Amino acid sequence: MDIEEAIFSHPNSSIDRILSRIGFGRYQLMVLCLCGAFLMAEGAELLIVTLMSSVLQKEWNLSLEVVEFMGGILFLGTAIGTLIAGPLGNAFGRRKCMVFSSLSYCIFAVTSAFMPDIWTFVCTRLFLSISLGVLVPIGTTLIVETGIENSRGLSVLAGQMLYQVGTTMVILLGLALVPNLDPLYWRELLLLAAWPAFFSTIFLVFLLDESPRWLAMNDQHDKCVKILNKIARINNARRITVEEIEAVKLIEKSEAENHLDRLGLVFGGDYLRITLQGFFLWWAIGFLYYGCVFILPRTLGSDSSDGDVLTNLAIMSVIQSPLSLIPMFLIEQDKFGRKNTIVLVSVFHLGTSLLCAFKWTNTLYYSFVMGLQICGMVNSDVIVPYTNELYSTSVRTTGYSLCFTFMNIAAISSPFVLLTLHQMNPMYPYYAFAGVAALNLVNGCFLKKESNLGSLDTFIVSINKI
């Protein structure tokens, strides 16, 4: 049996069986809230970058080139963070990375609001973005690794819904504090947008546990059992049995003991195709989603006032929020799952991109634009559990953070590409979206496997054989 077959068809690992026996409960909800706050912060940061590019252009009389640079450099910070998240998460564990990165995020969120010029502002937001780039993939991995098999995808998507809440929150704050994208209370906007992360950091330091899977794969079996018992206690389930403890203790340390070994696994054997297709999948969806959010205020503003732009964004965001439930329904259906949902949504993504490129009445145009955003939102949600489930615990943060980095590369490049196209014609960015959506559709059709077919890991031991 090769590596890929083992990933998708091997019986459940011991920890999967234990967590499934304990069941979903208050512990998983606690992890979701603690880690999900930074998914909310990520959604807030995306809109902050978009709004600040217009607000600070007026505040400090910035040239278009500087605005492009600001958008790109802030996404660069997130890319750096996601790139280092893999080796940090594997070497030091999930909890330590979450604690230190959350404290760093809070420090730079506050200091950036008091910066006197564009360059000090960009520097502090760069370090904030690096912190966020570490928090999001490792937080998502923690949600996956503490979840149970039949609700793992739904747990991740529930966290992703908080991302949409973050974007809506910033739009509403923008309406209240910078209603015409004027530089009135933009410093207050930055401080208020960070409050969910502030509260989460306080509780995270005291309540967040290490991933039991990471502990087991790093020869810390006693700590793993202790946390599994804590999960059982909080969820009002039976404590870990002697047989289950013995099964956990038989889990062997991963052969990939350093980052180079993990990279060798991610880029070797049957993982190679999975990784390369994942890179393009994340890049394409990143370009489509982040690019649309970045350019949308400008295309909407070509025929509207700045105040109307924020109002229209608020209306669309409120309508979109309940529609973020779509992937939660599709991914657990036998006819769809993760892979087919990506393919189906890519078809609609291509169609709505082409429709947006033509002149319509305002009502039709806003409907098509909202459809474009919904497609980007759904696909960006689905690829998170899909990618996490493809990799085993020993290389999960490495593979996932590398894929996430390609999404951030797309986010870095999209402001430059789309602003250039927008200057030529406000509709040209949508032709670019259509081209990328078409390529992503082809890539999606050739994805090799569904990911929600069993255990997260390929442990040799199963409880039934002890």
Closest CA to 20 of 246, 235, 321: 235
465 domain-assigned? no
Residue 163: both structure tokens together: 């991302």
Mean pLDDT of 130-151: 87
What domain range is 345 assigned to?
Answer: 3-455
Query: Helix axis angle, 64-92 relative to 94-112, nearest 10°?
Result: 150
Number of domains in the chain: 1
Q: Identify which has the larger pLDDT, 385 or 202.
A: 202
Whether 460 maps to a domain, the answer reads no
Residue 161 falls inside a structural domain:
yes
461 domain-assigned:
no
Q: pLDDT value at position 270?
A: 74
Query: Does 374 or 359 have the greater pLDDT score?
Result: 374
Write the pLDDT tens digit of every residue in 126-136. 999 999 999 98
Contact at 8 Å (CB) between 356 and 372? yes
- Residue 28 pLDDT level (bands cut at 50, 70, 90): very high
CATH code, domain with 273: 1.20.1250.20
Asked whether residue 464 is domain-assigned, the answer is: no
Of 162-171, 172-181, 362-371, 441-450, which range is least confident?
362-371
Alpha-carbon span 8 to 450, nearest angstrom: 8
Task: Specify if 462 maps to a domain.
Answer: no
73-87, 132-146, 321-335: lowest mean pLDDT where? 321-335
Which of 138, 144, 140, 146 is closest to 25 using CA atoms? 146
How many Cβ atoms from other residues are within 10 Å of residue 177's Cβ?
19
Share of the chain above pLDDT 70, in %: 85
Question: Is 422 contained in some domain?
Answer: yes
**C-alpha to C-alpha distance for 330 and 222, rounded to whole angstroms:** 38
> Has residue 280 been placed in a domain?
yes
- pLDDT, average across residues 99-109: 94
pLDDT one-digit tens code per residue, 186-201 = 899 999 988 888 888 9
**Angle 248-254-258 (CA atoms, 0-180°, nearest 5)?**
145
Nearest in space to 175 (alpha carbons), one of 160, 195, 192, 198: 192
Q: Is this model's pTM higher than 0.75 or not? A: yes
pLDDT value for 97:
94
Q: Contact at 8 Å (CB) between 434 and 357?
A: yes
pLDDT at 366 over 80: no
Interacting residues of 31 by C-beta distance below 8 A, sequence separation 6+:
142, 143, 146, 208
Mean pLDDT of 320-326: 70
Q: What's the pLDDT tens digit per position in 205-260? A: 999 999 998 998 888 999 999 999 999 999 999 999 898 888 888 877 766 566 77
Taking the C-alpha atoms of residue 349 and residue 365, their distance in angstroms, rounded to an integer, is 15
Collect contacts of 247-250 with beta carbons under 8 A, ≥24 apart. 247/14, 247/17, 247/18, 247/461, 247/462, 247/463, 247/466, 248/14, 248/15, 248/18, 248/216, 248/221, 248/224, 249/221, 250/14, 250/460, 250/461
